[in-house]
Structure 1
Amino acid sequence: MKRIGFLSFGNYQPVPGSQTRTARDVLTQTIELAVAAEEIGIDNASVRVHHFARQLSSPFPLLAAMAARTSRIELGTGVIDMRYENPLYMAEEAAATDLISDSRLQLGVSRGSPETALHGYESFGYVPGEGQTDADMARQHTAVFLRAIEGVAVARANPTMTGGQTGGLWTMPQSETLRERIWWGSGTRATAKWAAEQGMNMQSSTLLTEDTGDSFADLQAGQIEVFRDAWKAAGWERTPRVSVSRSVMPITTDIDRMYFGGRGDDEDQVGYIGDELARFGKTYAGEPDVLAEQLAADAAVQSADTLLLTVPNQLGVDYNARLLQTVADHIAPALGWSPNLPTLQGAGSGAPTA
């Protein structure tokens, strides 16, 4: 069964028309949108993480607050840039947040994307070692983080403080199944293969840092196939999950048409990010029935088990809740989705339901 979620970049800026003029605005509104999405039956509420920008940057306090206000919806990131992270402190924060959420955390991590700051992770105190790239450092941080949440000892006991106890200590708290809910944001087929070999689920966004000449959807579907083949070859017993992101803007009102009609980006785009050739996915904007047909024909959307919809968070909670409701009512059912809503008491037992 397909899962549907939203992904917020958490933009805020005091400009005309923005409903998120301050950092407080975007934080509180992200919590409110998660609550509204859960009421609609949406499966996942995820946030993007960027540093040195007017966007969301510290996910764990926000995710914990979202968890405290909801009970069913998955809570995630897409993605945390591991170049910036102290992996042991992050293991503590992630486990605590997961326990608050009752094991609903779906934590996406990766090397990160091009950023506002030049080598910003160095300002956080993390410098790649000799002969190491920033991508190598991100993977090294990820490996330490994964060991920590697996309960591997990462420090030695001080016998003067432990009544003579010696041996290893692990980060606390621990959340038993969190390791199974870590995702790697893969921008290429090579990193998709690596993610599978590490036993992480895979996220793939609206940007791939490679291009073969195939359409974005077909290139991404090939990436998913590489991931699943590598997962099978690695011998993991559980079934992995795969998410893809899409910009989907249903147009049902004049306001929608004003914002998203005739955007001019309804085709894939190819360009360079730094020295890397990249392919960008198109925006799906139009009448809901047309979007349903287009997404049903999108090979990667069909292959993935989870579809994350990027939302224009600066338009406010009400606008985005209506967008998600339109998707839930008129688009997502065509993809094999049904709402994640509470089971009515007595349903399935022969008792009458309202």
Structure 2
Amino acid sequence: MPSTPRPLRKLGFLTIGLFDEAAPRAGHEATLSLIELGERLGFDSAWVRHRHLQYGISSPVAVLAAASQRTRRIHLGTAVTPLGWENPLRLAEDLATVDILSGGRLNPGVSVGPPMRYEEVREALYPDTGDAEDFSHERVRRLLSFVRGEPATGFSGTEGFEAFSDRVQPHAPGLADRMWYGAGSLRSARWAGEHRMNLLTSSVVKAEDPEAPADFAEIQLSHVRAFRAHHPDGDRARVSHGLVVVPTDSATRAQRAKYEAYAAARLPRTAEPQGPARLLFAPDLVGTSADIAERLHAHAAFREVDEVAFALPFTFAPEDYVQILTDIATHLGPLLGWHPDPS
């Protein structure tokens, strides 16, 4: 373990983009406004999360396409796109298109596994191929091959008046280097490293060894180290950390009370692994930026990363997010060694 934490080099945030079913445009506009605020505050990246058949962003690629036209510098990511819902070829086309429109700022994060509540959605999603679909890492490998410009077909050339390519178009140079994998297990972290992806960590890991202590930070540290041990770039391979942090430096008394109640309600699930998958959750970090920075500097996994995409709580009001993002950019980030890009 390093004797001192790495200075924070890249500061990002993650939002779920909730909306009211009766007025969905307002919620989507609020998400876009939050991304615009993030750019003004100097954040290096803004990330959105998929929520299928729920009241959160179901099409992050479309939302980020809109965000790309309202911003000029901030990088835009998905954390994460569950590939069980996607066709890798079609997704590669969408990602490349948005990356071109954004000027090379897209950072797609993906994960694998069956879609959530698969038995209920299989008939709607894969009515003819539900039992044959492969939800393994092979789905990521296919996406990576298309993004990297490898052949998608054996045919190219001209037929009549139409020209055809044998690879995904448009091709977005550099996009492959900005592909991320959201890993919560040791196996997935290793796989991401072997396949030259970047690694997204979050506030959830799998406590896979029932005989070992369920220490969140140590488990996450083992994922970071396994990823880098298997990545061609070694210790320079990119890892982004994604805990929930809620600084209260400029919060009102009512906001502080709300934030503390939110964290307290979620704290019991952090005591031990949850469910058959033995998911272990990290506590939300609520307090002054000085308090949060001290806790992060003592976090075994955080000490070895220099990029973050801090997750915003999912149920707060727009004014709460403004306060939280402002405190992260003006107080917490600098305490972690981060400085905004002057450009």
Is TM more than 0.5 here? yes
Moved more, 261-270 or 1-10: 261-270
SS of the residue 1:79 aligns to: strand
Which residue, out of 126, 144, 147, partners 1:146?
Answer: 144
* Equivalent position of 2:175 in the other structure: 178
Q: 1:4 to 1:113 in 2, by over 3 A?
A: farther
Q: 1:271 to 1:120 in 2, by over 3 A?
A: farther
- The answer to whether the Cα contact below 8 Å between 1:7 and 1:78 also exists between their aligned partners in 2 is yes
Deviations for 1:35-73, whole angstroms, at most 9, x for unmatched residues?
001100111100111212111111111011111111111
Q: CA deviation at 1:322?
A: 1.8
Q: 1:158 to 1:250 in 2, by over 3 A?
A: closer
Structure 2 gaps, min length 5: 1-7
Q: 1:285 to 1:180 in 2, by over 3 A?
A: same
**Superposition pairs for residues 295-334 of structure 1, below 5 Å?**
295-312=296-313, 314-334=315-335
- The answer to whether the Cα contact below 8 Å between 2:112 and 2:140 also exists between their aligned partners in 1 is no
TM-score by length of 1: 0.84
* Equivalent position of 2:230 in the other structure: 230
- The answer to whether the Cα contact below 8 Å between 1:84 and 1:121 also exists between their aligned partners in 2 is no
Q: CA deviation at 1:162?
A: 5.2
Deviations for 1:133-182, whole angstroms, at most 9, x for unmatched residues?
x7x5242322221111111121233777157999x711111101101111
**Superposition pairs for residues 5-84 of structure 1, below 5 Å?**
5-13=12-20, 22-84=23-85
SS of the residue 2:17 aligns to: coil
* Equivalent position of 1:89 in the other structure: 90
Deviations for 1:169-207, whole angstroms, at most 9, x for unmatched residues?
111111011011111110111110011111111111111
> How large is the RMSD of aligned CA atoms in angstroms?
2.6
Q: CA deviation at 1:107?
A: 0.7
Q: CA deviation at 1:85?
A: 0.6
* Equivalent position of 2:193 in the other structure: 196
Residue identity in the other structure for 1:142: V
SS of the residue 2:243 aligns to: strand
- The answer to whether the Cα contact below 8 Å between 1:4 and 1:307 also exists between their aligned partners in 2 is yes
- The answer to whether the Cα contact below 8 Å between 2:112 and 2:139 also exists between their aligned partners in 1 is no
User: What percentage of aligned pairs have identical amino acids?
Assistant: 28
Q: CA deviation at 1:122?
A: 5.3
Q: CA deviation at 1:230?
A: 1.0
Residue identity in the other structure for 1:35: E
Confirm whether residue 3 of structure 1 aligns to residue 3 of structure 2.
no
Between the aligned partners of 2:137 and 2:160, the Cα distance in structure 1 is 33
SS of the residue 1:321 aligns to: helix
TM-score by length of 2: 0.86
Confirm whether residue 248 of structure 1 aligns to residue 238 of structure 2.
no
Between the aligned partners of 1:173 and 1:238, the Cα distance in structure 2 is 32
Between the aligned partners of 1:250 and 1:162, the Cα distance in structure 2 is 62
Moved more, 173-182 or 155-164: 155-164
Between the aligned partners of 1:150 and 1:161, the Cα distance in structure 2 is 25
Structure 1 gaps, min length 5: 15-20, 343-354
Q: 1:121 to 1:217 in 2, by over 3 A?
A: farther
* Equivalent position of 1:292 in the other structure: 293
* Equivalent position of 2:260 in the other structure: 261
- Deviating beyond 4 angstroms after TM superposition, the runs of 4 or more aligned structure 1 residues are 162-166
